Amino acid sequence: MDPCLLIPIYNHKDTIGGVLDALAYLGLPCLVVDDGSDEATQETLRLESGRWPWVEVHRLPVNRGRGAALRHGYRRAAERAFSHVVQLDADGQHDAADVPKFLDAARREPEALILGQPIFGADSPRARLYGRRLSQAFVWAVTGSLAVKDPLCGFRCFPLSRTMPLLGTVGLGDRMEFDPEIVVRLAWTGISIVNIPTRVRYFRGGLSNFRMIRDNSLIVRAYVRLVAARVFRRIG
């Protein structure tokens, strides 16, 4: 196993430093994909990459969305011959102390998809929780399995040997819909799925790039695509 870390970022200049500080103990290479962030975030990333030699920043010139940034990161990791990518968000919500749990699970099952199963605190927005329950029910229905405990959590470990062939054959969404869509598509390939309970924190006044109307609409459209793909595959 030769893993790396992957962090997509869009304008999280105030939190990325703390995230990288929390990851330093791991001694792992970290690819940070800047998805067209503002100048202040670009400057922060220049300082952080100078401070931490294991941090490598890749900049997309315009904001293309979370899914596009993650796909870019997977491809760069594959080009560097890493075997696995452990991805976290740049807003500090994910607990870096749990990364070893994801890596241990990947060592036990090198071709498994390792998903974060969030443990939410009292600070978690109720609307987000209800949305996750609906997404969970949909994914269970469309995969015919209860294996995926949370299809939206961005804390994950991907085996690139199973992920890259999928990216080469299937078009996936560019924004927040990417997270549940790639999980369903990988589940359809028969990949083993492991869920790791992990604490998720919400911060008062924290920056969220989730746009309630736009991103929920994109997620619903992705679910419609997945249902159509499932139906036509059965017909064929």
Q: pLDDT tens digit string along 13-26?
A: 999 999 999 999 99
Query: Measuring CA to CA, how many Å separate 19 from each of 14, 98, 172, 178?
Result: 10, 13, 27, 23
The domains of the chain, with CATH numbers, are: 3-235 (3.90.550.10)
For the chain, list residues with pLDDT below 70: 122-130, 203-213, 215, 234-236
Cα 117 to Cα 36: distance, rounded to the nearest angstrom: 29
Strand bridging mode 55-60 / 156-159? unpaired
Cα 64 to Cα 106: distance, rounded to the nearest angstrom: 30
User: Which pLDDT score, from 0 to 100, does residue 217 have?
Assistant: 78
70, 178 contact by CB (below 8 A): yes
As beta bridge partners, residue 70 has none
As beta bridge partners, residue 87 has 6, 156
User: Which pLDDT score, from 0 to 100, does residue 226 have?
Assistant: 87
Q: pLDDT tens digit string along 32-49?
A: 999 999 999 999 999 999
- Nearest 10 degrees: Cα torsion 42, 201, 136, 196: 100
Amino acid symbol at 78: A
User: Which pLDDT score, from 0 to 100, does residue 87 have?
Assistant: 98
Amino acid symbol at 34: D
